Structure 1
Amino acid sequence: MSSQADPGRTTRHPVLVVGAGPAGLSAALALRAAGMPAVVLERRTAETVRPGSRAAYIHGASLRELERLSPGLGRGIADRGLMWATKRSFWAGHEVYTRTYPRYGKDGLPPFTSLPQVDTEDLMAAACREAGVEFHHGVEVKSAETTPDGVRLTDATGRTWEAEYAIAADGSRSPLREAVGIPLEGPRSRNTFVVVDLKDDPDHPVPLERVFHYKHPAVGGRNVLIVPFAGGWRVDLNLNVDDDPARFTSAEGLNRWISRVMPAAYGERVSWVSTYKFAQQVAADFTDAHGRVLLTGEASHLFAPFGARGMNSSIPDAVRAVQAVHDALSAGGGRAGAAAEIARFAAERREAALYNRGCASTALEHMVAQRPAVRLRRRMAVTLALAGQKAGAWLDSAPYGPKLAAKGAARKSY
């Protein structure tokens, strides 16, 4: 169901979801799975399409959670996506690690899939519509006011929207987060990263493998990550601190370096390019002083992409937010019991975000190797790996951050 806002009507809802990206769509599906109404306010029109593959790597845990919320959705995303089974790492042109994984688990779902975010969102939105989610497109929420009794949102037209709770899934520049006065805290990377999407070229096939190059000799010793996704390739170039990004993002510059790390024809197949200094930021709190706005997804955290922790932590953010709201609305302890449910959500998901930021920070530090101790450890690992010892596994995994170790961390942080 999709509709435009009616400026003459104000209805009080149990919950309003603001934003129709992965976090907002997950929240909507979780609300319907819990038997609750789901109303989503989205700034973009229904016809808006964002460019680029963006969050193109979906963890198996995310697929399984979406399958639980909407049977068939996880499998549908996996079927449309691409699961590459082999990964390789190189140091200055010499292979230091390779491994091939089974393609499917016991439940028939793959360990991950690679699919442009717009396609994932399309499948999630279709599942939402089938479940009876009510969408209001073209609604730009500009401000929010919370009280002990609820939340009032005001959109760009001046219309107000009232609810017991609002789930903020409105992105990194979240108006809801700003309206309730919660800052994002943390640094940005010093290095710039160039992120490029390439359209697949059937006439020049490339093995469907994830390949990471430390110190690629063809691009002046810069790091390069090459990952296939359904319909194309993501190529990330790690620039040096003193590089001018314009040298690598102009049409000529792109053609020059892409044709050195991929078959030459791919230099003419760029479909999207962007540059980033990656933020490593987490909201100071995940709810407001009255516990009526719950922050999820990029409204609550921004991570460097190593390990694909952004979207894959946004989904459990949203699911946990819905659980908290559901429990708060049915809490037997009155207002105090409801507040305790929201506070638990905020503490748990902030803990998960700090964990994920720590993992992504470790990976980022390993990638740029600005500290002598990190450079030394990398050189020692390379020496051992080239001699046939097991250090290559560390070299391959280190750019993605620590894996989830404790069961508690895994439950909160995937």
Structure 2
Amino acid sequence: MTATAPLPLPATTEVAIVGAGPTGLALAVTLAEAGIGFVLLDRQAEGANTSRAAVVHARTLEVLDELDPSRALSAELIGRGLPVSTFRIRDGARPLATIGFDGLPTAYPYALMVPQDQTEAVLLARLRALGGEVHRPYEVTALTQDPDGVTVTTATGRTLRARYAVGADGMRSAVREAAGIGFTGSAYEESFVLADVVMDWAPGPGEVSLGLGAAGLTVVAPLPGGHYRVVASVADAPAEPDFAFVRGLLDERAPGQATLREVAWSSRFRIHHRVADRYRAGRLLLAGDAAHVHSPAGGQGMNTGIQDAYALGRALAGGDLDGYEARRRPVALRVVALTDRMTRVATTRNPVLRTARDTVLPLASRIPALRRRLASELAELNYR
């Protein structure tokens, strides 16, 4: 197959967006809807085709409806996903707490389980329908701002002049580095295994399970097509966890619950909990993982990034860039705090704390107000 020549870069644009993951795509769609010129750049020759983030929460679906009031965008994504209305915390096979999404005040009272590549495909199709495209492969190596704009330089020496540049380029953001913005926080000691598997799973596909135990945190979530997503903290995971490793992990943490059939894809990663000190330095702005990273507990990362993108697009359209940071940075601080608490509670190896946790959780989960509050927080409805 003959490689497609990259789209030529225009000389100028209103907004240069660096990074074409979900955050960059959502920002591009928002700007396209508002009639604001942009160039969306990505260093990869093509979009990733692995599942990575696997949940779209209710607030994100609401944002998609605000981008497309016909609801075609959200309907397309829902058609590719699996709605799940129950989040259950377990110690092995024993349920400790059950959180239901079905009573939430939203048109989408569930968590939509859908692989990230499908979310990106739906956003990209919408972008193309609006006349936009991703410019690939263009790796941004330098950004220089002055009172009138930003000069973006790529690895090939090509340059683009923009009024503003947005970093949607992940934890190691070139835009954040060029802006000189600090990224306060630290890393967790544990590594994490992420795997998409085919298995017989006793709780079934009707719930997302968060497993607690002395060995660490284990999340099992259903995916379309009979697959399951497994996320687990381990002391030192192999770079590509194989069938035997994943089977041993499930046998240890959910004995008698899982019969593994196939590992479709797996990876290892380390996680941080960090928030950018600022979301703006002059004409350079941040969104998504460039602005905040945190534990995968609760599936908040991609959702928070897409909502950042929508808020930033609206701020650029309305000329309220200072208001963007004022609205979205407190959300990131809150999300990081929530996911950090969930991770530390789930991974504690202190036997006294584990006993207290396993005693308190069932009691707390019987209080309707607490259940609703946690469900609303996970669904990100409190960030409207």
The TM tier, using the shorter chain, reads 0.7 to 0.9
Q: Flag the 1:222–1:309 CA change in 2: closer, same or farther, 3 A.
A: closer
Structure 1 segment 12-411 matched on structure 2, within 5 A: 12-46=12-46, 48-51=47-50, 53-70=51-68, 71=70, 72-98=72-98, 102=102, 107=107, 109-199=108-198, 206-215=204-213, 222-231=216-225, 232-239=227-234, 243-246=235-238, 249-258=241-250, 261=254, 267-288=260-281, 291-328=282-319, 341-369=320-348, 374-375=353-354, 377-381=356-360, 385=362, 390-392=363-365, 404=377, 410-411=382-383
Find the aligned partners of 1:247 and 1:66 in 2 and give their Cα distance: 35
CA deviation map 1:104-146 (0-9, x unaligned): 9774x44320000001100110011001113211111111001
Deviation at 1:21, TM superposition (A): 0.8
Deviation at 1:13, TM superposition (A): 1.0
Residues 140 and 154 of structure 2 are in contact (CA less than 8 Å); yes or no, is this contact kept in structure 1? yes
Give me the CA root mean square deviation.
3.3
Comparing 362-371 with 26-35, greater Cα deviation is found at 362-371
Residues 256 and 267 of structure 1 are in contact (CA less than 8 Å); yes or no, is this contact kept in structure 2? no
Query: AA paired with 1:342?
Result: L
Q: How many residues align?
A: 373
Q: TM-score, normalised by structure 2?
A: 0.85
Deviation at 1:23, TM superposition (A): 0.6
Residues 286 and 347 of structure 1 are in contact (CA less than 8 Å); yes or no, is this contact kept in structure 2? no
Comparing 356-365 with 370-379, greater Cα deviation is found at 370-379
Deviation at 1:262, TM superposition (A): 8.2
Deviation at 1:254, TM superposition (A): 2.4
Residues 78 and 110 of structure 1 are in contact (CA less than 8 Å); yes or no, is this contact kept in structure 2? no
Q: Flag the 1:373–1:294 CA change in 2: closer, same or farther, 3 A.
A: farther
Deviation at 1:256, TM superposition (A): 2.8
CA deviation map 1:53-107 (0-9, x unaligned): 2111101110111122133111111121001234433335323344665499774
Q: TM-score, normalised by structure 1?
A: 0.79
Comparing 249-258 with 126-135, greater Cα deviation is found at 249-258
Q: Flag the 1:411–1:223 CA change in 2: closer, same or farther, 3 A.
A: closer
Deviation at 1:372, TM superposition (A): 7.7
Deviation at 1:392, TM superposition (A): 4.1
Residues 240 and 266 of structure 2 are in contact (CA less than 8 Å); yes or no, is this contact kept in structure 1? no
Find the aligned partners of 1:78 and 1:103 in 2 and give their Cα distance: 19
Deviation at 1:160, TM superposition (A): 0.5
Comparing 346-355 with 261-270, greater Cα deviation is found at 261-270
Deviation at 1:221, TM superposition (A): 5.0
Q: Which has the larger radius of gyration?
A: 1
Comparing 261-270 with 249-258, greater Cα deviation is found at 261-270
Residue identity (%): 29
Residues 88 and 95 of structure 1 are in contact (CA less than 8 Å); yes or no, is this contact kept in structure 2? yes
Secondary structure of the structure 1 residue equivalent to 2:88: strand
Secondary structure of the structure 2 residue equivalent to 1:313: helix
**What runs of 5+ residues in structure 2 fail to find an aligned partner?**
none
Residues 278 and 304 of structure 1 are in contact (CA less than 8 Å); yes or no, is this contact kept in structure 2? yes
Q: Flag the 1:181–1:60 CA change in 2: closer, same or farther, 3 A.
A: same
Residues 86 and 100 of structure 1 are in contact (CA less than 8 Å); yes or no, is this contact kept in structure 2? yes
Residues 99 and 375 of structure 2 are in contact (CA less than 8 Å); yes or no, is this contact kept in structure 1? no
Find the aligned partners of 2:376 and 2:85 in 1 and give their Cα distance: 18
Find the aligned partners of 2:173 and 2:147 in 1 and give their Cα distance: 22
Find the aligned partners of 2:156 and 2:284 in 1 and give their Cα distance: 21
Comparing 277-286 with 193-202, greater Cα deviation is found at 193-202
Query: AA paired with 1:55?
Result: A
Find the aligned partners of 1:229 and 1:138 in 2 and give their Cα distance: 30
Q: Flag the 1:184–1:370 CA change in 2: closer, same or farther, 3 A.
A: farther
Residues 226 and 235 of structure 1 are in contact (CA less than 8 Å); yes or no, is this contact kept in structure 2? yes
Residues 13 and 38 of structure 2 are in contact (CA less than 8 Å); yes or no, is this contact kept in structure 1? no
Secondary structure of the structure 2 residue equivalent to 1:278: strand
Q: Flag the 1:119–1:344 CA change in 2: closer, same or farther, 3 A.
A: same
Comparing 311-320 with 230-239, greater Cα deviation is found at 230-239
Deviation at 1:175, TM superposition (A): 1.2
Find the aligned partners of 1:281 and 1:273 in 2 and give their Cα distance: 25
Comparing 367-376 with 76-85, greater Cα deviation is found at 367-376
